[in-house]
Structure 1
Amino acid sequence: MECSTTDPVVAATPPGQDRVGSPESRGIDCVPDAERHGRARELFALWAAPNVSYLSFVVGGTLVLMGLTPAEALAVTVAGNLFWLLTGFIAVSGPAAGTSGSVISRAMYGVVGNRVIVAVTGWLIASLYLALNWSAASVAGLGLTSRLGLPDSPGLDAVVVCLIAGATILVAIFGHATIVRLYGALSILLTVVFVALSLLVLAHTDWSYAPADPPTGFGHLVVLASGFTIVASAPLSYANSPDLSRYLPRTTGRRAVTLWTAAGGFLPSVLFTAIGTLAATTLDMNDPQTALESIMPSWFVPVFVTAVVLNTVANNGITAYSSGLSMQSIGVRLHRVVAVLVVGVIGTAMTLFALLVFDFLTAVNTMMELVVVITGPCMAVYATDIVLRRNRYDGEQLHDQSRTSPFWYRAGVNWAGVLATLGGGVAATLCASSTSWAGPLSSAMDGLNLAVPVGVVGAAALYWALSRALGTLPPTTAQH
């Protein structure tokens, strides 16, 4: 299967190449059946390496700082991470269409409408996550340079950020085949290091811990909802899962794609968030790096910092990879490698600003509590479209951006998808609450944060109803 050359970006793209150790030349163009390879189980390592994460320790500690008991924090952690099933479900569209998620979403938003949605979710949100993760790694790296006696300065901050960002962008440039091979090794290495740290935490855990001033009554529910939102924001941010499954053979089982993807994110996220929770029973997780390093032998500190940096490279590597594809999908005529470099420069600039201006822990909590008002509805619309179309996507049709395209709809916009996403986003915003924002409905409920359930369920229901009412699901997708 070849893609239509009515897509100018695809027409200007050289023949695809996906080999380990060589920069991937394929951008958003379809992967022909003859070049499909791999098995669904490789998706486990692809998602485990980014999620054997220092940020999980940070989030786990935050849940206790909010006043939850370890048992409550664990329950919230498991519940929020169940959204990895949604991330896995969306990934099934990759093998079906053989192209990136940012192209498949033309079915939901129309050729023109999709450009706006992807510009926000594929550029802005992705750049924010790049900055967040690079900030985390840079904080750890700067702590190590301080131990080595190097003087603290803005110049040193910039050097550390640029080195970490450079390594990340290099991974994204080499692309899919290299990521598959590299992340298998990284997932093992990072797990060994973080399990060793977990054993140190367990040795210092206060198993009888109880919050000094636990929330009560309705306030208790408010805290539980806020914690759930913070945890759920991670899996809801990965709408790029089809990008990493598109090279799989078309006949790959949907259940296998869903479960291997979900397991790769769910298992390490739950494990290490729980360890962060236990760490907070005796350590001051207001400064998580200093707290964790205080229980490490001196020789283990550089090992830990290296693991944090490698995890960040793994996490941001797939984010930058997908962001480059997103840039192409909205019509920017750049080679995939150049597009990745542009995204990297934007993310690096945002990282330096965040690192030098904002408190890291506050930035983490605020972003994770508010970004779901966008990511939740987008994921819900995507998943609902897969159900409605029975995962029947034709890559050639999706790359047709002419006015005769089946995805042109009305003036290039599928109003069912756009209105459902906007409606879900508005409803989620009204119900959102964080340290810097409280929606009117949340304020009326004393700060109860219902952004995730309202945004996800609301957007899915709206898209289902509007698609039926507007007739935007004609039988134009290919039967595979």
Structure 2
Amino acid sequence: MERSATGPVVAAASSGQDRAGSFESRGIDCVPDSERHGRARELFTLWAAPNVSYLSFVVGGALILTGLSLAEALAVTVAGNLLWLLTGFIAVSGPAAGTSGSVISRAMYGVVGNKVVVLTGWLIASLYLALNWSAASVAGLGLTGRIGLPDTPAVDALVVCLIAGATILVAIYGHATIVRLYGALSILLTVVFLAVTVLVLTRTDWSYTPAEPLTGLHRLAVLASGFTIVASAPLSYSNSPDLSRYLPRDTSAKAITLWTALGAFLPSVLFTAIGSLAATTLDMSDPQAALESVMPSWFAPVLVIAVVLNTVANNGITAYSSGLSMQSVGIRLHRVLAVLVVGLIGTAMTLFALLVFDFLTAVNTLMELVVVITGPCMAVYATDMVLRRNRYDGEQLHDQSRTSPFWYRAGVNRAGALATLGGTVAATLCAGTGTWAGPLSAAMGGLNLAVPVGILGSAVLHWALSRAFGTLPPAVAVVPPRPAATVQH
């Protein structure tokens, strides 16, 4: 046995341990060059599978329900999904450091400060687990009703646990299995959802206009709210470095950015748009019933299965990264145990959400409010990458001692911490939902500017404060790859 700054570890297994169908042995420890593999284009299907999504239909329908015209809903859909470029950009740091994004962020926040940020992100990830499992469970319960099972809490719990169990199994197997499985899932899900698309298009009212068209400041407020809801999805995926860290160090940064962004952008835009088109003639306040009304009865179970598979894909990478996040804050659990803990917490939250809250209201409220945190965090991460020219040494990042270059002052990088805090406060003041509005948002008639204010404010603050505090070294050394690495358990 050896020890490292992150706790007890064991000697690394032989190279090639990241194999589909085998449990991934690595946690947050650095991936040596000898074990790097794959090409950037595999990121396309890896990000497509989670985003060929039933939730896209839900969000698209919600845009029309808020009173937007069809053209406005489509414009908001494209604009909000452009933020997938930010998700793709931060993925470039994965191969550079060879470790998890929750470890790389020690450069932005310091060894101690990073723990607070990662724990916050972990909580948000758990909320998204619950949200997606709730969506799949609602669809699954409709299927159980068709086959004659009673509508009882016990059946509800069984459906949730089955879906959660399949998801956690994918996360436990890890990176290589996810890459291989998601390639097949992206094709299967696309075929099913394109069939739904054809059915919706035959019923679309292309001349649709709202019964009471929005005007003035209220129109701007609804447009901003719709943009926030759509943008919340790409802003929630700060885990993209986790899924690219096995790529060779010299993989093109442009290729990583574009394949990641395109994999998520294309299906998100397409199926959110289809949700909006469906709402021109269907009542998308109950998305499942609305979509089932335009399809033959035999196809409804196929859609339910696709919804469940998409949820497994979506939550699989979320649970996978959440397990890595638990390790990065110092919780000494094997990656598999960390994933199981995340799964149990997410399942409990799902049961609560399913039995207590209205699903559609929960979706909109979460997506509008969560951006006050996720936007600033993503902005600080991306800005730090630019400032450091993406030069991160994974071995240095794993040093959590007081002599670490990322200890800063009392373990906190004041530049990153204050930039994130300042951006979050500013975004909160400018945030607004259907039930709550920050002071500045209320003064502007409910206009929700949380995304642009949070992102731009945090980016500018981090840039300025890094120079003011002198927390950014002139260059971050890249240590030559070591012949052996360690595996965290």
Q: TM-score, length-normalised on structure 1?
A: 0.98
**Offset at residue 476 of structure 1 (A):** 5.8
Question: In the aligned structure 2, how far is the partner of 1:211 from the partner of 1:59?
Answer: 17
What is residue 9 of structure 2 aligned with on the other side? 11
Question: In the aligned structure 2, how far is the partner of 1:276 from the partner of 1:251?
Answer: 40
Question: In the aligned structure 2, how far is the partner of 1:300 from the partner of 1:314?
Answer: 21
Could you give the per-residue CA deviations for residues 199-241 of structure 1, whole angstroms, max 9, x where no partner exists?
0000010111110012111111011000000000000000000
Question: In the aligned structure 2, how far is the partner of 1:295 from the partner of 1:151?
Answer: 26
Could you give the per-residue CA deviations for residues 306-359 of structure 1, whole angstroms, max 9, x where no partner exists?
000000000000000000000000000000000000000000000000000000
**Offset at residue 12 of structure 1 (A):** 5.2
Question: In the aligned structure 2, how far is the partner of 1:80 from the partner of 1:179?
Answer: 26
RMSD over aligned CA atoms reads 1.1
State whether residues 54 and 308 of structure 1, in contact with CA within 8 Å, keep that contact through their aligned partners in structure 2. yes
Residue pairs, 1:447-462, within 5 angstroms: 447-462=446-461
What is residue 190 of structure 2 aligned with on the other side? 191
What is residue 49 of structure 1 aligned with on the other side? 49
Would the alpha carbon gap of residues 13 and 107 (structure 1) be closer, same or farther in structure 2, given more than 3 Å must change? farther
Question: In the aligned structure 2, how far is the partner of 1:189 from the partner of 1:409?
Answer: 48
What is residue 27 of structure 1 aligned with on the other side? 27
**Offset at residue 150 of structure 1 (A):** 1.2
What is residue 218 of structure 1 aligned with on the other side? 217
State whether residues 70 and 276 of structure 2, in contact with CA within 8 Å, keep that contact through their aligned partners in structure 1. yes
What is residue 473 of structure 1 aligned with on the other side? 472
What is residue 152 of structure 2 aligned with on the other side? 153
Could you give the per-residue CA deviations for residues 11-45 of structure 1, whole angstroms, max 9, x where no partner exists?
35854731111111100000000000000000000
What is residue 482 of structure 2 aligned with on the other side? none
State whether residues 201 and 278 of structure 1, in contact with CA within 8 Å, keep that contact through their aligned partners in structure 2. yes
How many aligned positions are there?
476
Would the alpha carbon gap of residues 269 and 230 (structure 1) be closer, same or farther in structure 2, given more than 3 Å must change? same
Residue pairs, 1:263-302, within 5 angstroms: 263-302=262-301
State whether residues 13 and 335 of structure 1, in contact with CA within 8 Å, keep that contact through their aligned partners in structure 2. no
**Offset at residue 7 of structure 1 (A):** 2.1
**Ranges in structure 1 where 5+ consecutive residues have no aligned partner:** none
Question: In the aligned structure 1, how far is the partner of 2:113 from the partner of 2:430?
Answer: 26
What is residue 484 of structure 2 aligned with on the other side? none
**Offset at residue 10 of structure 1 (A):** 6.3
Question: In the aligned structure 2, how far is the partner of 1:107 from the partner of 1:86?
Answer: 18
Matched residue type, 1:134? W
Would the alpha carbon gap of residues 317 and 340 (structure 1) be closer, same or farther in structure 2, given more than 3 Å must change? same
Would the alpha carbon gap of residues 356 and 13 (structure 1) be closer, same or farther in structure 2, given more than 3 Å must change? farther
State whether residues 376 and 423 of structure 2, in contact with CA within 8 Å, keep that contact through their aligned partners in structure 1. yes
Residue pairs, 1:416-427, within 5 angstroms: 416-427=415-426
When structure 1 is superposed on structure 2, of 91-100 and 467-476 the one drifting more is: 467-476
Question: In the aligned structure 2, how far is the partner of 1:337 from the partner of 1:67?
Answer: 45
Q: Is residue 440 of structure 1 aligned with residue 439 of structure 2?
A: yes
What is residue 343 of structure 1 aligned with on the other side? 342
What is residue 63 of structure 1 aligned with on the other side? 63
Question: In the aligned structure 1, how far is the partner of 2:29 from the partner of 2:399?
Answer: 11
Would the alpha carbon gap of residues 258 and 5 (structure 1) be closer, same or farther in structure 2, given more than 3 Å must change? farther
Question: In the aligned structure 1, how far is the partner of 2:184 from the partner of 2:51?
Answer: 14
**Ranges in structure 2 where 5+ consecutive residues have no aligned partner:** 480-489
Question: In the aligned structure 1, how far is the partner of 2:441 from the partner of 2:218?
Answer: 12
What is residue 358 of structure 1 aligned with on the other side? 357
Residue pairs, 1:363-402, within 5 angstroms: 363-402=362-401
Question: In the aligned structure 1, how far is the partner of 2:120 from the partner of 2:389?
Answer: 27
Paired residue secondary structure (1:172): helix
Question: In the aligned structure 1, how far is the partner of 2:136 from the partner of 2:12?
Answer: 35
State whether residues 168 and 314 of structure 1, in contact with CA within 8 Å, keep that contact through their aligned partners in structure 2. yes
When structure 1 is superposed on structure 2, of 268-277 and 15-24 the one drifting more is: 15-24
Q: TM-score, length-normalised on structure 2?
A: 0.96
What is residue 332 of structure 1 aligned with on the other side? 331
Question: In the aligned structure 2, how far is the partner of 1:422 from the partner of 1:138?
Answer: 35
State whether residues 9 and 332 of structure 1, in contact with CA within 8 Å, keep that contact through their aligned partners in structure 2. no
Matched residue type, 2:9? A
Question: In the aligned structure 2, how far is the partner of 1:188 from the partner of 1:46?
Answer: 11
Identity %: 82
Question: In the aligned structure 1, how far is the partner of 2:333 from the partner of 2:213?
Answer: 54
Q: Is residue 38 of structure 1 aligned with residue 38 of structure 2?
A: yes
Would the alpha carbon gap of residues 194 and 286 (structure 1) be closer, same or farther in structure 2, given more than 3 Å must change? same
Matched residue type, 1:102? S
**Offset at residue 475 of structure 1 (A):** 3.8
Paired residue secondary structure (1:233): helix
State whether residues 15 and 26 of structure 1, in contact with CA within 8 Å, keep that contact through their aligned partners in structure 2. no
Would the alpha carbon gap of residues 296 and 418 (structure 1) be closer, same or farther in structure 2, given more than 3 Å must change? same
**Offset at residue 286 of structure 1 (A):** 0.4
